[in-house]
Structure 1
Amino acid sequence: MSETVAPASAAPAPASAGPPSVIRVGLSRAAFETRMFFREKDAVIFTFSFPIVLLVIFGSIFKAELEGTGLNVSQLYVAGLIGSAAMTGFQNLGIGIAGDRDDGTLKRLAGTPMPPAAYFVGKALNTLLVSAVQVAILLAIGVAVFELELPSALSDWLTFTWVFVLGVLGSSLLGIAVSSLPRSAKSASAVIAMPFVVLQFISGVFIPISQLPEWVTRVASFFPLKWMCQGFRSVFLGDGGATLELAKSYELDRVALILGAWVVGGLVLCLTTFRWKGRRDG
């Protein structure tokens, strides 16, 4: 009597791999952006040397001690230039994305399966890395040359971290938003660099905030750089530096509120103004 052999059950089909996540593609894009950045040797040298040159020049010229604080003007410049370094994403992203739009890079990327958000994740992470390296270099020079004392309290480093992250994120989003303003890549530097230079002068980077006219400080208070510099002064200048502030206090709660508002506002501006095509593309 023959046995009936049951048919072998079909092997389960392998689960189809879904598309890679935005974070994964964003990390890959960040690695690409970083490689491209460091291949441009002249841009790398200028990006990292410019704040160093400014710090050495201003710190060497202005050495006067700030009465009643135990600080000197050069230490004030270190804190201010750290804030400026944290905001370089505004200028770098604004000019860089305008160039990507003008040469058709954005248009080509929009036609690929890459999630659009991954492009911005890559840009933001690259900006975060570049800003972090700039800040580390400025801190090293401040400690070695200008007698800057690094804080020992964990709370100060936590303050440094959230000011840095919110500042870089907010300025990066703002840079993405303003990248739509220039009509071409050739005009991007002039359109975006000038407001950044003006912001540095009115936000306490080069001139102590207490020495600026009241109307200038009111204008500066609408923008993130003033609050970023104020937050970094709280970390590196301590209680003595608080007397130099307009409110005689670092107002860290207000710093957090305004920087957070710029992150939200920058995101809204990006969502409402960003264009993948140049104006000549229709």
Structure 2
Amino acid sequence: MTTTTKPATPVAAAPARRVGPGALALRQGRLEITQFLRSRESVVFTMLFPVVMIAIFASIFTWELTDGVRFTQYFVTGMIATGLMTVSFQNLGIWIPIERDRGVLKRYRGTPMPKWVYFAGKVIMVVVIGLAETVLLLAVSAVFFDLTLPTTVGKWLTFGWIFVLGLTACTLCGIAISSLARTSRSGSAVVTPVALVLQFISGVFIVFTQLPGWMQQIAALFPLKWMCQGLRSVFLPDSFGAQEPGGSFELGRVALVLALWCVIGLVLCLGTFRWTTKRDG
């Protein structure tokens, strides 16, 4: 007697779970943060350099600018703004050309992943590292250099919108300027001098009103000067506003200029960003 066995019915494979756009952006952001943390040079320069500069300046310049406001307190606000510019404008302006030269961007463009996810990952990295750096600077400055932290909700709200607008403007400008570098090696040569000049003319290392008038006018065209001025309104006494060129902190103008640079940066990104090098076509 022959026994027949029915062939096993194949089990249909479960459909692959589709990842939503939000999850894709978060994954890309996590990847960008991991890559940043694996680069020791980037971590040291971005996170520790501002702290070292504060320690050096606090040891050298000990005088008071006005009653109750020491130069160190003034300098800290500038270094917070500089830190935000470094993690966004400078880092993106240097790293994106490296990725373009290595063909990373070309491969991204050839995948089904929406192009905006790449930029979302950069933004997430900039926000997370920018927040971490700012918290570190505020903690070190408050504990060791007598920086007075804001005690009112209004001051923290002002800090919040300056942080968002300033970081957005610098991020967009960093993406835009990355297209000027022809090779991975030229990214630093293009971006670093611009960042250093802006720091010197925007009132970071020197009290802004002590700079020549023509230098103040040039600085007023760029975001860093207004970021520094806005942060001074948060961390310095209200009376210090009289020492500003306009006789006040001019927060309305700060918001207007930073918002305008967000628009300018977006237009430049849309018009100049390249996924490949010129040799790739």
Q: Give me the TM-score of the superposition, normalised by structure 2.
A: 0.91
Is 1:179 matched with 2:178? yes
Offset at 1:42?
3.5
Correspondence for 2:129: 130
Are the aligned partners of 1:71 and 1:240 in contact in 2 as well (CA < 8 Å)?
Answer: no
Return the alpha-carbon distance in structure 1 between the equivalents of residues 33 and 215 of structure 2: 37
Q: Give the paired residue count.
A: 267
Offset at 1:219?
0.4
Offset at 1:103?
0.5
Correspondence for 1:7: none
Q: Which 4+ stretches in 1 moved above 3 angstroms?
A: 14-19
Are the aligned partners of 2:229 and 2:249 in contact in 1 as well (CA < 8 Å)?
Answer: yes
Are the aligned partners of 2:159 and 2:231 in contact in 1 as well (CA < 8 Å)?
Answer: yes
Change in 2 beyond 3 A, CA 1:16/1:37: closer
**Percent identity among equivalent residues?**
48
Offset at 1:46?
2.7
Q: Which amino acid aligns with 2:29?
A: A
Return the alpha-carbon distance in structure 1 between the equivalents of residues 39 and 278 of structure 2: 27
Is 1:237 matched with 2:236? yes
Tell me, what secondary structure is at the counterpart of 1:179?
helix
Correspondence for 1:144: 143
Structure 2 residues not aligned, in runs of 5+: 1-13
Computed over aligned residues only, the root mean square deviation of the Cα atoms, in angstroms, reads: 1.6
Q: Give me the TM-score of the superposition, normalised by structure 1.
A: 0.91
Offset at 1:45?
2.2
Return the alpha-carbon distance in structure 2 between the equivalents of residues 139 and 186 of structure 1: 34
Is 1:20 matched with 2:20? yes
Correspondence for 1:111: 110
Return the alpha-carbon distance in structure 2 between the equivalents of residues 48 and 126 of structure 1: 14
Are the aligned partners of 1:94 and 1:192 in contact in 2 as well (CA < 8 Å)?
Answer: yes
Are the aligned partners of 2:46 and 2:83 in contact in 1 as well (CA < 8 Å)?
Answer: no
Offset at 1:130?
1.2
Offset at 1:32?
0.6
Tell me, what secondary structure is at the counterpart of 1:66?
strand
Return the alpha-carbon distance in structure 1 between the equivalents of residues 104 and 70 of structure 2: 47
After superposition, what is the alpha-carbon deviation per residue over 1:142-169, rounded to whole angstroms, capped at 9, x for unaligned? 1112211101100000000000011111
After superposition, what is the alpha-carbon deviation per residue over 1:25-80, rounded to whole angstroms, capped at 9, x for unaligned? 1111000111111122333123211111111111211110113x410000000011
Return the alpha-carbon distance in structure 2 between the equivalents of residues 266 and 139 of structure 1: 28
Alignment of 1:39-118 (within 5 A): 39-67=38-66, 69-88=67-86, 89-118=88-117
Tell me, what secondary structure is at the counterpart of 2:229?
helix
Q: Which amino acid aligns with 2:69?
A: L
Are the aligned partners of 2:65 and 2:71 in contact in 1 as well (CA < 8 Å)?
Answer: yes
Return the alpha-carbon distance in structure 1 between the equivalents of residues 16 and 76 of structure 2: 54
Structure 1 residues not aligned, in runs of 5+: 1-13
Return the alpha-carbon distance in structure 2 between the equivalents of residues 261 and 45 of structure 1: 32
